[in-house]
Structure 1
């Protein structure tokens, strides 16, 4: 099948990679609610920002971390944003993160 160099080269030249694109857009929270977006970084930081229904920035925070994984930083950013919003009565709240693992943890799947 692909046991010679020319057959391997021909296969690779004819190979068409599958590429999937997803457009991600930030959407305003509806009505008088708030939206908190959180993120972590493999470079050692966890961040969150909060906006109101008009898209105005309410609060943002970033924390430099040491000796933690990207997952730990994502969770710390999520937790920090959630605790800030609860502590300042920024409700109703929509919280968004880019890490599916956090959703699976909260849903009890993982």
Structure 2
């Protein structure tokens, strides 16, 4: 096992990720939350863009000491609260957290 570990070469996978504008009449919201350590200094942010890629709104906020899950959830919650308050009806929400996607799909 030691010999195998010393000769191990990790495989590197990559893909190009590009932001894609929503269809005409739609608004796209991208969210993110992060924590420095997993209970640590945390923040969230989200932004909205129209079908031309124009920035409609963006915000980021420090959350203090939280987990990464709390930061991700707060980003989604604040984005939805903003969109409801501004009556954004045709909305696409993009997340970078597979865990959050699974949680939302189960609800």
Q: Measure how far apart 1:91 and its partner are.
A: 2.2
List structure 1 runs of 4+ shifted beyond 3 angstroms: none
Question: Which secondary structure state, in structure 1, belongs to the residue aligned with residue 74 of structure 2?
Answer: helix
- Report the RMSD for the aligned CA atoms in angstroms: 1.9
Corresponding residue for residue 64 of structure 2: 66
Which structure: greater strand fraction? Answer: 2
Give the TM-score taking structure 1 as reference length.
0.83
Question: Which secondary structure state, in structure 2, belongs to the residue aligned with residue 45 of structure 1?
Answer: strand
Distance 2:89 2:13 in 1: 35
Corresponding residue for residue 12 of structure 2: 19
Distance 1:101 1:61 in 2: 22
Give the TM-score taking structure 2 as reference length.
0.85
Structure 2 portions without partners, runs of 5+:
37-41
Number of corresponding residues: 102
Structure 1 portions without partners, runs of 5+:
none
Bigger Cα Rg: 1
